[in-house]
Structure 1
Amino acid sequence: MNRLGQETSPYLRQHRDNPVHWFAWGDDAFAEAKARNVPILLSVGYSACHWCHVMAHECFEDAEVAERMNELFVNVKLDREERPDVDAIYMDAVQAMTGRGGWPMTVFLTPDGKPFYGGTYFPKDAFLKLLTAIDDVWVNKHDDVTKNTKQLIEAIDKTSKIEPADDFPTVEQLNKTVQLLGRAHDPEWGGFGQAPKFPSTFNTELILRAYMSSGAEAAKDVVVTTLDAMASGGIYDHIGGGFARYSTDREWHVPHFEKMLYDQALITKTFLHALVVLRLPQWRQVVQETIEYVLNTLTHADGGFYSAEDADSPDADGNGVEGLFYTWTPDEVRGALHDVKPEFVEEALVWWDITDDGNWPDGPGVRRSIPTRRHARGQLERSDAQNFIRQRLFQAREQRPRPGLDDKVLLEWNGLFLGAISEAGAVFGHQPWLDAAIKNAEFLCDEMRDDNGRWYRSWHADAEPGANGLKARQMALAADHAAILDGFTRLAEATGKARWIAEAQQVADTMLDWFFDPSNGGLHTTAEDAEALVVRQKDINDTATPSANSLGALGLYRLAALTGELRYANQADRILQLIAGQVDDGPTMYANALIATDFRRRGATEVTIAGDRPDLVRVAQSIWRPDLVLAWGERYDGPMWDGRNDGFAYVCKEHVCNAPVDTVQDFAEQLLGRPVTIRDTITDEITDAHRASDPGE
C-alpha cells in the first residue's frame, strides 16, 4: 500500500496516488526492509522540480515499474526541502559514485541506511534494467555491496572529521577567490562560467565588497554586468516579478521556470546592496517587484512565507508544461489589451520582445516568447503607460492555470527572506514591508517553536497538531537556526524593537547548545539529540543557499557586536578556523564564509542612535556598509547603549567611539568617512535615486 496519504509535504502528496508502495522516511521503512531482507530504494526530490515530475510520470505512475519496485525493494519518498540533512548525506554518496548529482535522486540503501549505489534521473527502460541489476547484486554479490558501503561511508563522513586550522581564512585567500571569480566572470553576459548559469549571489556580494574596498572599475563592471543581465533576461519575471531558479543558457534567456523562496531572498539582498552602493535606479524596481511577488503569491494569511512555485503548469489537456504560464504569443498580448490603442500594444510587444517567431526555443507547440529586455539590457524603468500595460498583462496571466504551489513553510528559507525584507523595508522606508517582516517573525515564534524553546523546520496548514501542540514537523537543523538568527537581528535593526535582539540571542544559544562541536569547532548539521543517521555531517559548502556554518558565523559576529557578548564572536572564530583549511580546495565554494571572514577582518562598526531621531535613523538605514550594525529605538542591555544620551548618534569601531554627533551632516560624514554635501535633504549624497518613500508609487 502507498503510505503517503497522510503526509503534508506537497512533494510527497504528489506521489500519494502512485501504484508504488511508498513509505515516508522513518523507522517503519527500515523495519520493513530488515524484515524482508531487501534494499531500500530511496527517491528524493522536491515539489517544484521539473525532472522529478518527468520521472514520476515515466516510472512511478507506471504499473509495470511499480510492480517491479514493490517486489524487490522497500520504497521511500523523501522531500529534500523538509529533510536536507538526509538529502545531503545521500547526495554526497551519489556524487562520490557518479561524479555528479541532482534531482530526482535515486539511491539504493542497505536496511540499516548505508548507500551502495545511486544516480539521478532514469527513464523507464533504463530504470527497469537498473532495478534488475541492483536485485542481482543484492542477492548474488553481497560482498560487493559491503565493500561499496564501507567506501561510501568514508567518503560522506569527511566533514565530521575536519580538524580546525590554527588561523582564519587569510586576506590572501580572500584576494585569490576574488581573482578566481574575476577570471570566471563572463564579461559579455555577466555571471560566472557558462551555461547553465545560477544567480551565484555570494560571488557577486564578494565582488561588491572588493569594489567597496578598492574602487576598482573591474569589480564594479562584474557587478553591473551580472545584475543588469539577470534583470533583463528571461530568468526575471518581467510581468509578475521574482526570479526563476537558474538560466539554462549563458545569456540568462531561457530559465528553468521554478521560483524558490530562497532565491527571492538572496537575490533581493544582492540587488539591494548593489543599489545602495552603486545607485543605479533600475535595480530599485527589481527589488520592489521581487518582494511584492513573494508578498502576493508566496505568503500565508498568518504571515509565513511559502516555499516555491513549480516550473510546470497544466495545458488544456491537463498535462504539465514547463513555462507555459510565463510565455506569450503576440495574439495573446493583443487579446489581453483588446481595448488599448494599437500603437501601445505594438510598443509593448517590442518592449518585451514578444514576436511571431518566438524567442523560446524549447517551447511546446506554437512559437512562444519569454518576456525579456535582453535587447535593451539595463533599461528596465517603465513609463506610466508601460506600467499600465504590464498590469493588464499580469491580470490576464492570472486567469491562466497557475503553476503548482509548494505551500509548506520552511524555517530556514523564511529566515532568509525575513532578513531580506527587513533590510529592504529599512532602506526604502516602506512600512508595509516592515509590517510583513514583523508578522512573519511572530508567526515563526508562535508556530515553529515549542514550549521548550526548540525550533522545527517545516510547517503546513493542513497538518494536525502534534504532541508539541504545533503543526510544525521535523526538528530544525543548524541552517534553520543560522537563518533566523540573521533574520531576527536584521529585523531588530530595521524596527528598533529590543524584542528581536532577545529572540536572536535565544536562537544563538539554542544553536550553540545543540549543534556546536566542542572538540573541532563548527556546527553539526543535526542536533545532538536528533535522529541518528549513518553519519553526522557538518554543512560547510556555500551552494544555492549559504552553509549553516558560514551564515552562523556571520550571524554570531553581528550578534556579538550588537550585544557585547564576546562568546558569540569566539564561537564564530572557531567556525572559521574549521573552514580555513578547506578554502584552498575550492575557494568559490566558500564565498559566504569569506564574506564572514571579511566582516571579522574589518571589525564591526557599531552605530547607536539614542532618543527620538528619525532623521539620523534614516541616514543610517540609507547607507549600506557590510561591517555596520545598528541599535536604535528601544534600549537593551549591552555596550551599544551604555552611557548613550538621547538625541545623539554614536559611531564606534569595536566599541571605541568617535565623539557623539547630533546633526545629519556630521553623522553622515562619520559613517562615510569623508566630507559630504547635504542640501535641503539627505537624498543627493546618501540615497539619491534609490530612495523611495513609497515603492508602490
Structure 2
Amino acid sequence: MANRLAGASSPYLRQHADNPVDWYPWGNAAFAAAAERDVPVFLSVGYATCHWCHRFAAESFENESVAAELNQAFVCIKVDREERPDLDDYYMTAVMLLNGSGGWPLTAILLPDRRPFFGGTYYTVPQLLQIIDGLSQLWRDSRDKVVNAAEQLAAAIAAQHDPAPVSGNAGPAEVRTAVAELLASQDLVYGGQSGAPRFPQDMTDRLLLQHWQTAGDANALQAALASLVGMAAGGIHDHLAGGLHRYSVDGSWSVPHFEKMLYNQAGLLQAYADAAAVTGSGALRHVAQGIVDFVAAELTDPATGAYWSALDADSEGQEGTYYWWRPSRAADVLGPELTAQTPLVIADSRREVAVDSGLGLDGVVRLPAQGGLADLAADLASSAYAESVVRLGAARAERVRPATDDKVLTGWNGLFIAALAAAGDRLDEPSWLELATRTAGAAAGWHTADGVLVRVAGSDQPGQLEDYAGLGLGYYELWRATGEARWLAAAVALAQQIEPRFGAPSGPLHAASAELDDLPVRPRDVVDNALPSGNSLAAELLLSLAVVVEPQFPQGPAVQAALAALAQRLLGELGPRAVRAPRAHPASLRLVLERLYPLASAPVVRSSLLPATAGRDARVRLSTPPGWHLGNAPGELPFVRHRDNGAARMLPLLDHDQAAGWAEFAWPEECANTDRPTRITVQVCDRRRCLAPTDVWLAPRWT
C-alpha cells in the first residue's frame, strides 16, 4: 500500500512511495505528529539519481523489519535535496559539524522542533538498527542530554549561517596570492584538484582561464587545460553520447560515479567554451558540442524545451551497468579492423587496456591518459574514433537505459540557458542560441498565480535565490547574445526581487525567502560547492546589469543605481572571503578578477579565437554587451591593436555589428605560426565615453 509520498511532485519521493516506512513529506504535519507521539524525527535527504540513496532504500527502507523499527522509534520524513537546497544545506551543516564530512543520502535525527542532535550519511542495516536502539534509549532515559546536544548544535549551525562581518582588501595583490594558492593544489599530470575522488572544477577552470586572459599567467592556462583535457580524455566524459558524469572515483578521471547532472553540464559547457575560445581548439569545442548534444537528446522535454535534472547512476539495479564494457565485447562490436585502429581503451580505476587485450576487465571507454591537448585533438579528429563512437553507441543503446529525473528546476535551467547563450555567442554557434531561446520562452510560465517564481516547474514552491539569480543570468546572457530587449527586461524584473525576497540588514543574502520560514534559521548560501553559491550568482547578475548603458536599461537610472549598490555590497562581502579561501569561493573570485581589469564599472569583453573552416580563415571575435562597442566613434570602423614585442599593429577588420557589440578581425599569420601567446589591446566605449585600454591574451592556435 502506498504511503504519503505517492502524490509527491518529486521523482525521488515517489521512488519511496511503496516503502513500508511510514514516510511523511517535509511539513508541519510530520512535526505535529512527532510532538504528539513524543518521538524524534528521522530525516532522510537524497535525490533521485543517487546510487547510495538507492542502496540505502533497497537494504533498509524496503526491509519490513527495519521499517517497523523506524516507524516505532521515529516520525520519518523524506526530502528531495534538489527541491529544497536550503533545507539540505542546513542539515548538511549539522552533519559536517558532527562528523567532519558529509554526503548523500543525508541522515539526521531531529527534535520535534526541527533542531538536529545526530547525523550521518549511509548506514548498513546492522549500523542503522544499532543507531535506532541507542537513540531510542537515549531519548527515553537521558532526554536532557539530547536537548542540550540539540541546543549546542543549533547554535553552531546558526553561527555558520549568520557569518561575522568580513573586512580586508580584495585587490590585485590579494587576487594574485589567491590564484597562486589554487595553482599549488592543481595536478598538472591528470588535471584538477589533487586526490580522489575527483570532481570537475569548472568554476576554478574558468577562473584560471580568466586570469590567463587578463594577466597573461601561463601557469594558469596550463592548469586549466590540464584539467579540461584530462576530463575530456577520461571515462568521466561519456564519449559515446556526450556530456560528463558527476565525478570520478579515481584520480585519473577514468571511472565515474555515473550520474549525469544538468548543473554539471551547464558549468562544464561554459568552461570548455571559454577554453576553446582562448585556444581556438577544435578538440575543446568538440567536447562543448557533445554537452549540448547530450542535453538536447536526453535531458530535454520535447514538448516544451525545458531541461530535466539528471540521468540516474543505476540501471538494472546496479551502478553503471549501462556504461561498462569488457574488451572482448567492445572488440566484437568494433570488428577486427576498427579494433586495431581505435584510439579508445578500456579502463577501470587501476589500469587501462587496449580493446584487443582479451583481458577479463570490466571498465569504461576512454582515451589514453596523460596526453596533452594536441594528443586529444588528434584522437578526437580521427575517423577511427568517430566510427568507434557510432558503433559502440549503437550497441549501448540496446541496453536498459538509466532512469531520468524529470524535475524541471528553475535555477538549473537558468544556468544552462546562460551557458548556451554565452557559449553560442562566443563560439559563433547560432543553433545554441536557438535552443536557449526556446527554453527561456518556456520559463516565462514558471510562476505561481501571484507571480512568484517557483523552484520546480508545475509546483507552487517558492523559488530560492539560486532560481532568481540563475534564471536572471540566463535572460541576461540571451540579451547580451541577441540584443533582444525582452530578455533584458526579464532579467531586470527578477533582479529587482532579489533584495526584497532574500535580503538581510547586513551580510550575504539568504538562500530562501521568508515564505519558507520552516527552519530554525534561514541559511545563507556563500560557498561555491558543486554549483556557484546563490550569492555569487546574484552578484554576477547584478554586476552585469550595473554596466548596461542608458537608454537600454528598461526601468530607468534609479532602479539601476539600486541594483548596482546591492552588487557592490555583495562584492564587498564575497571578495574578502574569496581571497582568503579561494578553493571555497572560485566563482566569487572570478567576479573579483573580472572587475580588476580595468575598472569595476567596465563591461567584460569576451574574446574568441575561431579556427579556420571551409571558406573562412581563422579570425578573432571580440564582443561587448549591447550598447558598448570597441574603441571607435559611432558609425566608424572598430579597431584593435595586436602587440608583438612592444610593437602595436592593427588587426584587419573582417566584419562587425556595432549595435550588437561584436567585431571580427583577421588572425595574423605571425600569431598563427608562433608558440608565443598573443596580446591584444582593446578599448570599449559607450555613447558618452571611452574607458582605459586593457589587454586580452590568447593562446597560440591549436589544431
After TM superposition, the score normalised by the length of structure 2 is 0.84
CA contact (8 A) 2:255 2:347 kept: no
Secondary structure, counterpart of 1:472 in structure 2: coil
Say yes or no: does 1:663 pair with 2:640: no
SS in 2 for 1:371: strand
Whole-angstrom CA distance in 2 between matches of 1:55 and 1:549: 33
2:461 is matched by which residue type in structure 1?
Q
Q: 185-194 or 160-169, which moves further after superposition?
A: 160-169
Cα deviations by residue, 1:588-628 (Å, 9 ceiling, x for unpaired): 111111112223333354499xxxxxxxxxx9xx8688xx7
**Structure 1 position 2, deviation (Å):** 2.0
In structure 2, do the counterparts of structure 1 residues 422 and 679 end up closer, same or farther at CA, with 3 Å as the change threshold? closer
Q: Is the 8 A contact 1:164 1:577 kept in 2?
A: no
Query: Once the two structures are superposed, what CA deviation does each residue of 1:416-450 show, in whole Å capped at 9, x if it has no partner?
Result: 1111111122233333322211111111111x113
Structure 1: 5+ residue runs without aligned partners?
315-319, 460-470, 609-618, 632-639, 641-648, 652-656, 690-697
The amino acid of 1:16's aligned partner reads A
Alignment of 1:194-205 (within 5 A): 194-205=195-206
Contact 1:207 1:219 (C-alpha < 8 Å) held by counterparts: yes
* Conserved 8 A contact 2:95-2:101: yes
Tell me the equivalent position of 1:317: none
Task: Return the alpha-carbon distance in structure 2 between the equivalents of residues 82 and 571 of structure 1.
Answer: 27
After TM superposition, list the pairs within 5 Å mapping 1:327-366 onto structure 2: 327-337=324-334, 342-348=336-342, 350-353=343-346, 359=352
Describe the shift of the 1:167–1:454 C-alpha distance in structure 2 as closer, same or farther (beyond 3 A). farther
1:305 has 2:303 as partner: no
Question: C-alpha displacement at 1:584, in angstroms?
Answer: 6.1
CA pair 84-134 structure 1, distance change in 2 beyond 3 A: same
- Whether the 8 Å contact between 2:9 and 2:459 is mirrored in structure 1 is no
Amino acid of the residue matched to residue 351 of structure 1? L
1:299-349 superposed Cα distances (whole Å, 9 cap, x missing partner): 0021110101111111xxxxx2212211222343344446xxx3124323x
Q: What's the secondary structure of 1:529's corresponding residue?
A: helix
Identify the range of structure 1 (487-496 vs 152-161) with the bigger mean alpha-carbon deviation: 152-161
What is the Cα deviation at residue 171 of structure 1?
A: 3.0
Contact 2:640 2:651 in 1 (8 A): no
Specify the alignment match of 1:106 in structure 2.
107
Aligned to 2:629, the other structure's residue is in SS state: strand
1:369 is aligned to 363
Q: How many Å separate the matches in 2 of 1:354 and 1:230?
A: 14
State the distance in 2 between where 1:258 and 1:556 align.
32
Which residues in structure 2 correspond to 1:324-473 (within 5 Å)? 324-337=321-334, 342-348=336-342, 350-353=343-346, 359=352, 367-375=361-369, 376-378=371-373, 379=376, 380-384=379-383, 386-446=385-445, 448-459=446-457, 471-473=458-460
* Residues 1:481 and 2:468 are matched in the alignment: yes
Does structure 1 residue 589 correspond to structure 2 residue 584?
Answer: yes
C-alpha separation in 1, matches of 2:574 and 2:218: 30
Aligned: 1:532 with 2:532: no
Distance 2:516 2:255 in 1: 41
Pair 1:678-2:652 in alignment? yes
Q: Which moved more, 1:526-535 or 1:117-126?
A: 526-535
Q: Does the aligned pair in 1 maintain the 2:235–2:254 contact within 8 Å?
A: yes
Q: CA–CA distance in 1 between the matches of 2:323 and 2:564?
A: 46
C-alpha spacing 1:674/1:107, structure 2 compared with 1 (3 Å) = farther
Contact 1:479 1:525 in 2 (8 A): yes
Alpha carbons of structure 1 residues 162 and 170: separation in structure 2 relative to 1, 3 Å: farther
Partner of 1:462: none
Q: Deviations over 1:517-565 (max 9, x none)?
A: 2x20421111133333111121000111000111111110001112362
- Residues 522 and 575 in structure 1, CA contact (< 8 A), matched pair in contact too: yes
Distance (Å, rounded) in 2 between the aligned partners of 1:667 and 1:236: 38
- Distance change in 2, residues 1:49/1:450 (3 Å): same
Aligned counterparts of 2:360 and 2:48: Cα–Cα separation in 1: 27
Aligned residues of 1:168 and 1:577 also touching (Cα < 8 A): no
For residue 480 of structure 2, give the secondary structure of its aligned residue in structure 1: helix
SS at match of 1:208: helix
Contact 2:492/2:545, CA 8 A, preserved across alignment:
yes
Structure 1 counterpart of 2:319: 322
SS in structure 2 opposite 1:116?
strand
Contact 1:304 1:414 in 2 (8 A): yes
In the TM superposition, residue 504 of structure 1 has moved relative to its aligned partner by 0.1
The Cα of 1:65 is off from its aligned counterpart by 0.6
Question: Structure 1 592/386 Cα, relative in aligned 2: closer, same or farther at 3 Å?
Answer: closer
> What SS is found at the alignment partner of 1:630?
coil
Match of 2:506 in 1: 520
CA distance in 1, matches of 2:594, 2:420: 21
1:145 aligns with 2:146: yes
State the SS of the aligned residue for 2:547.
Answer: helix
Shift of 1:158: 2.2
Where does residue 25 of structure 1 map in the other structure? 26
Taking a change above 3 Å as real, the CA distance of residues 159 and 508 of structure 1, as seen in their structure-2 partners, is: farther
C-alpha contact (below 8 Å) 2:175/2:579 kept by paired residues = no
Distance 1:285 1:676, change over 3 A: farther
Paired residue type of 1:457: R
Write out per-residue CA displacement over residues 253-282 of structure 1, whole angstroms, 9 at most, x where no aligned residue: 111111110000001101111111122221
CA distance in structure 2 between the partners assigned to 1:122 and 1:354 by the alignment: 30
On the 8 A contact 1:421/1:433 being kept in 2, the answer is yes
Question: Is the contact between residue 358 and residue 367 of structure 1 (CA under 8 Å) also seen in structure 2?
Answer: no
Q: 1:14 to 1:35 in 2, by over 3 A?
A: same
Contact 2:448 2:460 in 1 (8 A): no
Give the drift of 1:114.
0.6
- What amino acid sits opposite 1:307 in the alignment? S
CA shift, 1:189, in A, is 1.2
Superposed CA deviations along residues 205-252 of structure 1, whole A, max 9, x for unmatched, are: 221122123322222211121111111011101111110111111111
C-alpha displacement of 1:685 = 1.8
- Consecutive unaligned residues of structure 2, counting only runs of 5 or more, are 354-358, 606-615, 656-663, 674-703
- Tell me the number of residue pairs that the alignment of Structure 1 and Structure 2 aligns: 626
- Inter-CA distance 170–607: structure 2 relative to 1 (3 Å threshold): closer
- Check if 1:13 corresponds to 2:14: yes
Whichever residue aligns with residue 505 of structure 1, its letter is V
Cα separation, 2, equivalents of 1:663 and 1:100 = 57
Change (3 A) 1:667 1:449: farther
CA RMSD, 1 decimal: 2.8
Aligned residues of 1:169 and 1:579 also touching (Cα < 8 A): no
CA distance in structure 2 between the aligned counterparts of 1:265 and 1:334, rounded to whole angstroms: 34
After superposition, the Cα gap between the structure-2 partners of 1:661 and 1:252, relative to the gap in structure 1 and judged at 3 Å, is: farther
Structure 2 residue 44 is matched with structure 1 residue 49: no
**CA offset digits 1:12-69 (Å, max 9, x no partner):** 1111111111111111111111111110100011111111111111111111110100
Amino acid at match of 1:436: L
Q: CA deviation at 1:688?
A: 8.6
Could you say if the C-alpha distance between residues 161 and 331 of structure 1 is closer, same or farther in structure 2, counting changes exceeding 3 Å? closer
Task: Evaluate the alpha carbon distance shift between residue 679 and residue 474 of structure 1 in structure 2; reply closer, same or farther with a 3 A threshold.
Answer: closer
**8 Å Cα contact 1:359-1:370 kept in structure 2:** no
1:627-657, CA deviations, whole angstroms, 9 ceiling, x for partnerless residues?
A: x7411xxxxxxxx3xxxxxxxx733xxxxx7
Distance 1:333 1:20, change over 3 A: same
Aligned to 2:118, the other structure's residue is in SS state strand
- How many angstroms apart in 2 are the aligned matches of 1:329 and 1:662? 62
TM-score, structure 1 normalization: 0.84
Indicate how the Cα distance of structure 1 residues 512 and 415 shifts in structure 2: closer, same or farther if over 3 A, else same: same
Q: State the identity as a percent.
A: 34
CA distance in 2, matches of 1:521, 1:122: 37
What amino acid is the match of 1:346?
A
Change (3 A) 1:66 1:354: closer
Residue type of the alignment partner of 2:542? L
